[in-house]
């Protein structure tokens, strides 16, 4: 795990390709990147990224 972590959020679907490109570039520089696609949405409408 990297000691540099970043949550990258550009909510609109139109920015998905930008998010993906930027995340890949940052990960090459050993930055741990989390994007909104890595989160699971629960039925209650909240964001949860832990085990079930």
pLDDT classification of 1: cutoffs 50, 70, 90: low
Residue 33 CB neighbours (<10 A): 19
**How many other CB atoms sit within 10 Å of the CB of residue 15?**
13
Bridge partners of residue 32, in order along the sequence = 5
pLDDT (mean) for 2-26: 85
Q: What is the dihedral of CA 16, 18, 21, 22, to 10 degrees?
A: -110
Cα 47–chain centre separation: 12
What pLDDT is attached to residue 37? 74
Q: pLDDT digit string (tens) for 22-52? A: 999 999 999 999 887 776 655 555 565 666 6
**Alpha helices (H) in the chain, listed in sequence order:** 16-28
């Amino acid at each position: 795990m990297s000691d540099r972590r970043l949550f990258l959020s550009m909510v609109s679907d139109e920015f998905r390709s930008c998010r993906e490109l930027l995340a890949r570039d940052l990960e090459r520089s050993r930055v741990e990147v989390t994007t909104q696609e890595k989160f699971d949405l629960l039925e209650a409408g909240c964001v949860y990224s832990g085990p079930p």
